Structure 1
Amino acid sequence: AVTQAAEGDGVAGVTAVGTLRRNEGGPARLAQSLAEVFVAGVDVNWSPWLAGGRLVELPTYAFQRRRHWLPAGRSVVDAAGLGLRPAGHPLLGAAVRLAGGDDVVLTGRLSRTTHPWLDDHGVFGTVLLPGTAFIEMTLRAADEVGCDVIEELTLERPLVLSEDAQVAVQVSVAAPDGSGRRTVSVHSQVQDADADVTGGGDWVRHAVGVLAEAGPVPSDERLDGVWPPTGAERVDVADAYETLAGLGYGYGPVFQGLRALWRDGGDLFAEVRLPVDAEEFGIHPALLDAALHPLPSGDL
């Protein structure tokens, strides 16, 4: 029991603790008094007070702890607030029409962290941006300037995606010529993970091509509304990705979209499926890439 005593009436070596105060005489006040006695070094028997409880081990050191807060990510900058126009594309964040002309530039930033599906595209052990991603970015640029067709696109060099680097990309579209065609190019600049978007190495051109306002409409007469195509012979694709791996193509799950294949003479007909959400792509690079997988190895 705790004996009632007026505070300040302490005797040398004795600690007096009050259990009754004006408007403080309930269980909470008594529990606090017991705690004060315990802190003062008295061995308090808590069992009658905490009936039904159980003893647990306290940490061996009062300040041992681990932080569980997630590290703060990079803030999303409003493109409109920077004088740009949001591009609304998973690979390209903003677009701007250059002053004094009709040239347009679309910009974005890529990494294997922000776009983890890119990890699934390797060639001879090196992760590369798939060529189909250049096509997809060029299609978005064509839409930005009112063109309907990529008349030609030449891939000049691959874009290597190292594990830690971030890559700034720019798709530049020139003003139209007399026929309405526009030249287009895709550049990249490799940056450190913490580098400002304006910092980094030299700009490298990866692709160059021509956009047009309209082009010939492709014919679908060959399929004639029938799938699989009439008269085509089915090709076994069960070991397709093992075969491609032997040729140096390291395709992970996102890029393993080939489901079925038929051959009719020199024509190949592939059935492909995207195993992830297509987001806001015109055509997801992994899906278009899968449509090309029968080509490197012929009949697989």
Structure 2
Amino acid sequence: EYWVRHVREAVRFADGVRALGELGVTTFVEIGPGGVLSTLVQGCFDDGTDIVTVPALRADRPEPYALVTAVGQLHAYGVSPDWQALFPGARRVDLPTYAFQRERFWLDVPQASGDVRAAGLGAANHPLLGAAIATADSDGALLTGLLSLGTHPWLADHAVNGTVLLPGTAFVELAIRAGDETGCGWIEDLTLELPLVVPERGGVTLQVAVGPEDESGRRQLSVHSRVDDGPWLRHATGVLSSAEAPSAAELGAWPPAGAEAVDLTAFYEGMAAAGLDYGPVFQGLRSVWRGGDDVFAEVELPDGSAAEAAAFALHPALLDAALHALAAGGLVSLDDGPALPFAWSGVVVQAAGAAMVRVKLSRTATGSVALAVADGAGDPVASVESLSLRAASAEQMPGAVGGDQLFGLEWTPFTLPSATDALMIESVADFDALRGSEGTPDVVVVPCPAGSGSETADRVHSVASEVLALVQWWLAGERAGRLALVTRPGDL
């Protein structure tokens, strides 16, 4: 009798579904060979109604796989299945009682490098540089390298205003290595002209050039980079010297007598709020004291990076973390934005490979900062006669490499005009009528197509293709009017 009425009379499927909705039903499971009714249920409710429809079986999938997938979807939407009925004999397993450590156990693949001697080059033997060669027309040198987040993942822990930058201390490391190559024992001057953005994908080629030695033992230095086949950009210039280096600065008694300890609780959270987002490798500040115009600090690389320190003269993350004490101790204000190293003078490294250092930072008469760096025993590691910093705005970051721009998503409210000022089109298919007509209304309102295909990915591709074709046609005609594409929940 039921099926006779089903064939002869109105099915009233929509009325039945709406009646369930009025009773508070929000989750529908289709028991059948496909998902046709699940799609129809969606159309029985007004736009904006939050309902869930899940087909138990799909024509193109094995039944066990489809059924378990359906139960999993229902569980994700808040339904509580009878798991014992679904998996007879299964038992519950307690989760660990500790917080997840997010510790990775993947083996690190060593960076592969060929024998650069086959190309007429010499090995640079440095983590940031791969090859070195003496220039033919002078007694200068050229060192090259390739940086990327894949080969140097620790660089991702140094972001300024949301952009990963090669830290200014890395330029000091490059200059020191260039000085070792050409017999220059210290950096007389190093000026950073342009930030070096490390791209999210791919790499950036480095080129460190050292010129011939003049009568006073000085050599001109420059650091350039480029992405792919883009233009070369100059990031730093400086002067290396083979003359006698300045004497090492002394730290004195440690911990400093009479100095006031600085509370570092939430320090790096505050730095992130100012635009300096440091990851674990660069969060090396351990203790800070303040005394007059001097700030004292203890800095240490994390355990995972300490082993790498031996390959550097002075690990950039270690020296960068030492500079964080300027903000912690009040010698530098971040009110005008992130402050980045700009000009270095009198940089000398006395002992290479440190993983933990003590540092004294002092304000000079010219407003710059002097640094004295020592190891845990107080023996000199490095010193800087003068360091000047500059505020870096967010506007300076996007164009730093290759003219790349950072785009953001912004929603602009748009009020539909009256029917007299706009042409309201029922569907994209109706748009063909406008394509054959002359003239364009001020505003043409078109609903987003629903897309075709049973899978979400297929519908997304279909919608994207139709909308792209529509927008391309609209722009090709250089029309004065505006095209408004209206999307609604459930379009896909």
TM-score, with structure 1 as normaliser: 0.70
Find the aligned partners of 2:160 and 2:316 in 1 and give their Cα distance.
16
Q: Is 2:260 the counterpart of 1:233?
A: yes
Q: Which amino acid aligns with 1:111?
A: S
Give the drift of 1:297.
Answer: 5.4
Q: Any idea what SS the aligned residue of 2:125 has?
A: coil
Q: Which amino acid aligns with 2:202?
A: A
Letter in 2 for 1:84: L
Greater alpha carbon shift after TM alignment, 232-241 vs 131-140: 232-241
CA distance in 2, matches of 1:119, 1:178: 42
| Local SS of the residue matching 2:261 | strand
Deviation, structure 1 residue 240: 1.3
Which residue number corresponds to residue 103 of structure 2? Answer: none
Structure 2: how far apart are the matches of 1:120 and 1:219? 30
Cα separation, partners in 2 of 1:234 and 1:240, compared to 1, 3 Å: same
Aligned to 2:213: 176
Q: Secondary structure at the match of 2:179?
A: helix
Contact 1:136 1:281 in 2 (8 A): yes
1:215 maps to which of 238, 245, 260: 245
1:247-262 matches, within 5 Å, as 247-262=274-289
Match of 1:195 in 2: none
Contact 2:225 / 2:234 at 8 angstroms: preserved in 1?
yes
CA deviation string 1:213-257 (max 9, x = no partner): 13211231xx32x21112211111122101111111000000000
CA distance in 2 between partners of 1:268 and 1:256 (Å): 18
Larger relative contact order (CA 8 Å, sep ≥ 6): 1
Q: 1:219 to 1:161 in 2, by over 3 A?
A: closer
Letter of the aligned partner of 1:76 in structure 2?
A: S
The residue type paired with residue 248 of structure 2 is P
1:186 to 223, 230, 238: 223
> Is 1:281 the equivalent of 2:312?
yes
Q: How big is the shift at 1:73?
A: 9.6
- Counterpart contact for 1:124–1:248, Cα < 8 Å: yes
Tell me the residue number matched to 2:419: none
Task: Give the Cα–Cα distance (whole angstroms) in 1 for the partners of residues 245 and 112 of structure 2.
Answer: 41
Secondary structure of 2:324 counterpart: coil
Contact 2:288 2:329 in 1 (8 A): no
- How far apart are 1:298 and its partner, in Å? 4.3
**Cα distance, 1:296 vs structure 2:** 3.7
Alpha-carbon offset, residue 98 of structure 1: 1.0
Query: Secondary structure at 2:326's aligned position in 1?
Result: coil
Q: What are the ranges of 5 or more consecutive residues in structure 1 without an aligned counterpart?
A: 1-59, 61-69, 192-199
Count how many residue pairs are aligned between Structure 1 and Structure 2: 220
* 2-structure distance, mates of 1:258, 1:205: 31
Q: Secondary structure at the match of 1:294?
A: helix
Gaps of 5+ in 2: 1-61, 63-106, 334-492
Residue 379 (structure 2) aligns with = none
Q: 1:279, 1:112 → 2: CA distance? A: 21
In the alignment, residue 293 of structure 1 is paired with which amino acid? H
Cα 1:76–1:219 change in 2 (3 A) is closer
Q: Compute the TM-score of the two structures, normalised by the length of structure 2.
A: 0.43
CA distance in 2 between counterparts of 1:82 and 1:74 reads 19
Q: For the residues of structure 2 that align with 1:158 and 1:75, how far apart are their CA atoms?
A: 28
Within-5 A mapping of 1:100-115: 100-115=137-152
- Contact 1:90-1:279 at 8 Å conserved across structures: no
**Percent identity of equivalent pairs:** 56
